[in-house]
Amino acid sequence: MVKKILVTGASGLIGKYLTTLLLQKGYQVSHLGRTKTKGVAPSFVWDVNNGTIDPHALDGVDTIIHLAGAGVADKRWTKSRKKEILDSRTRSSALLFKTLQNERHSVTSFVSASAVGYYGFSLSNEVFTEGDKAGSDFLAHITQQWEEQVDKISSLGIRVVKLRIGIVLSNNGGALVEMSKPIKLGFGAVLGSGKQYLTWIHRDDLCEMFIKSAEDLSMSGAYNAVGSEWVTNEEMTKAIAKVLNKSLWVPPVPGFVLKIVLGEMADMVLNGSKISSNKIQKTEFKFRFTKLEEALRDLLLK
C-alpha cells in the first residue's frame, strides 16, 4: 500500500483532480511546485532553474507522481517558448534524479507523465505501440528527451512508469473546453481535412491510471494512456455537436488558416496518430469510459 505520494505540477488540469481522488481514497498527498500554496495538501517549493528543492519535500514519501511541465498548447511556439516547454520537463526531471541520487529518502516508485507526441504524426492507418521509435517532429523531440531524463531514475533502483498521455477530455479546461466553445456559439467547424486521428482519454480514467501505476508493482516502463476507441477530428467535432444539440454549418477551417493563426503549433490540430492501448489493458486496468459519446455526455452535460 502506498503510504505517501508527492505530486509535482499539482496545480495543472490533471494534478488538481488527481489530488482530490487520492485524498478520497485515503492517501497522504503533498505537492511540489514553484510557490508554496495553501490548499488541501501540504506544499513544498522547488526552483528548477536554479536546481534547488526543499530538503523536506521527500520526507516520508514512497511514490512520486511527476506531472510538471509548461503547457504545450498555452502559447505560440516561439523559439523561447519551445525552450521553456523542453526545459520545464527535462530540467525538473533532472533535478528530481539528482535529489533522489544524493539525498536520503524512502522513494520506491516514480510515475511520470509523458505524451503520445513521442511517436510523431501519421495520417496512415499505422498503429503505434510502446515498442515503436520516437518520431522526428518538435513534440516527439521534446517527449523523447523528457523520457530520457526520467529513465535515469530507474538506475537508482526505483521503479519507473511513464504514461504517454493522449488528448485529455475534461470539463475544467484543456482540449474539450476549447473545442466546445465555438460549437456552443454555433460556429463549430472541422479543422483541416478532419481525417486526422485524435487519441483521447477521459480525465477520470487517466487519474485512475496514475493511481494504478503507483500501486501496481508489476508495472514499469512506458504505457500509452489512451482509450481504446480511435476517432478523427471530424468525428470528434460532430460528436460534441450532437451531445450539445448544436448544428455544424461552418465549412472546415483550412489548414493554411490555422497555420497563420497558430504558427507551427497548428501541427497539433492538423495531424494525429492511432495509438494502441493494448499494453495498459493487459495490466487488467478497466476503463470507465470506452466510447466517446459516453465520455462527452458525462463531461458536457453535468
**Average confidence (pLDDT) per 10 residues, the chain, 302 residues:** 89 93 95 89 94 94 96 90 94 97 95 96 86 94 96 98 96 91 93 93 97 97 95 96 95 89 86 94 96 96 84
Residue reference for cell 497555420: 259
pLDDT at residue 243 in the model: 97
Please, what is the end-to-end C-alpha distance for the chain in angstroms? 33
CA distances from 47 to 11, 53, 178 (A): 16, 6, 31
Structure confidence at residue 200 (pLDDT): 96
What pLDDT was estimated at residue 99?
97
Instruction: Give the pLDDT confidence score for residue 73 in this predicted structure.
Output: 86
Coil vs helix vs strand at 77 = coil
- List 31's β-bridge partners, or say none: 7, 43
Q: What is the pLDDT of residue 38?
A: 82
What is the DSSP secondary-structure string of 93-124?
A: HHHHHHHHHHS-----EEEEEEEGGGG---SS
The pTM of this model reads 0.95
CATH code of the domain made up of 4-235+259-300: 3.40.50.720
Boundaries of every domain in the chain: 4-235+259-300
The pLDDT, as a whole number, for residue 276 is: 96
